[in-house]
Amino acid sequence: MTETERSGARPSGKDEVRRELLARRRERPDDARRHDASALAAGLPWVLDELGADPRRPVCLHVPVRREPGAAPDGAVPLLDAAVALGRRVLLPVTVGDAPLDWAPFGGREDLVPGPHGLLEPGRPRLGPTAIGEAAVVVVPALAATADGVRLGRGGGHYDRSLPLRSPTTVVVALVGDDELLAELPAEPHDVRVDAVWRPHAGLLRTAGADASPGTP
């Protein structure tokens, strides 16, 4: 498998691409999703080591929703459990309208409470939007990404508003499925590019402009 998969000509508009990618995710079997979630959890120590993530700094993760990579069919999120088991300080996002994301600590599944639209978020005291500046690594959800760092999200713009608050030494990683690293994606000037792309079984790819070297655990 090449580092940049092509699946035919890509539609030009973001919304059309999103619809296609979401439809593909809905077709992914539960067994495959479970395998993906386990692979991400198993690969986390290697990924953090590969990225040189300072263990004294937190890692920003997220609760995957709507069949995103990392979500097991039974609702479990092994990746979050693995991060806690490593002794890492984990921060999860809290959505606050159209403002940059807030952040709160995560110490286990008991910390998760229903947020807006029924999405789970940490119930611990919030640390403010600037807490992302402490993070060594920020793993962001994505519908797809490219080898030059273009990330396609769901269109809410939350991470595009939040990532400018990160430290210059923070590594931003897009988490996508194995078939979601694409040759090209529509992009706009305000879109924040990622430093790496992480796929459950294909491993980590440093994007162009970072250290463009692929690797697998």
In a domain, 3, yes or no: no
**How many domains does the structure of the chain reveal?**
1
pLDDT tens per residue across span 170-190: 999 999 999 999 999 988 888
Does pLDDT of 104 surpass 70? yes
pLDDT in the model for residue 118: 72
pLDDT tens per residue across span 45-68: 999 999 999 999 999 999 998 799
In a domain, 32, yes or no: yes
pLDDT in the model for residue 10: 47
Structural domain range at position 117: 14-210
Confidence of residue 209 (pLDDT cuts 50, 70, 90): low
- Comparison of pLDDT for 211 and 81, the residue scoring more: 81
In a domain, 182, yes or no: yes
210 neighbors 50 (Cβ within 8 angstroms): no
Cα 197 to Cα 206: distance, rounded to the nearest angstrom: 7
The conformational region for residue 159 under phi > 0 = left, psi -120 to 50 = alpha, else beta, is alpha
In a domain, 186, yes or no: yes
In a domain, 2, yes or no: no
Structure tokens at 66: 């709507």
pLDDT in the model for residue 213: 44
In a domain, 9, yes or no: no
Q: End-to-end alpha-carbon separation of the chain, Å?
A: 16
Q: How far is CA 199 from the centre of its chain?
A: 10
Q: How far is CA 46 from the centre of its chain?
A: 16
pLDDT tens per residue across span 135-175: 999 999 999 999 999 999 988 889 999 999 999 999 999 99
Average pLDDT of the chain?
A: 90
In a domain, 215, yes or no: no
**Which residue is it, tokens 């479970």?**
34
Does pLDDT of 1 surpass 50? no
Other Cβ atoms closer than 10 A to 175 = 26
- Comparison of pLDDT for 117 and 176, the residue scoring more: 176
Does pLDDT of 133 surpass 90? yes
pLDDT tens per residue across span 4-22: 344 444 445 898 999 999 9
Instruction: Summarize the confidence of residues 25-49 as an average pLDDT.
Output: 97
Does pLDDT of 201 surpass 70? yes
In a domain, 89, yes or no: yes
- CATH at 67: 3.40.50.10420
pLDDT in the model for residue 156: 84
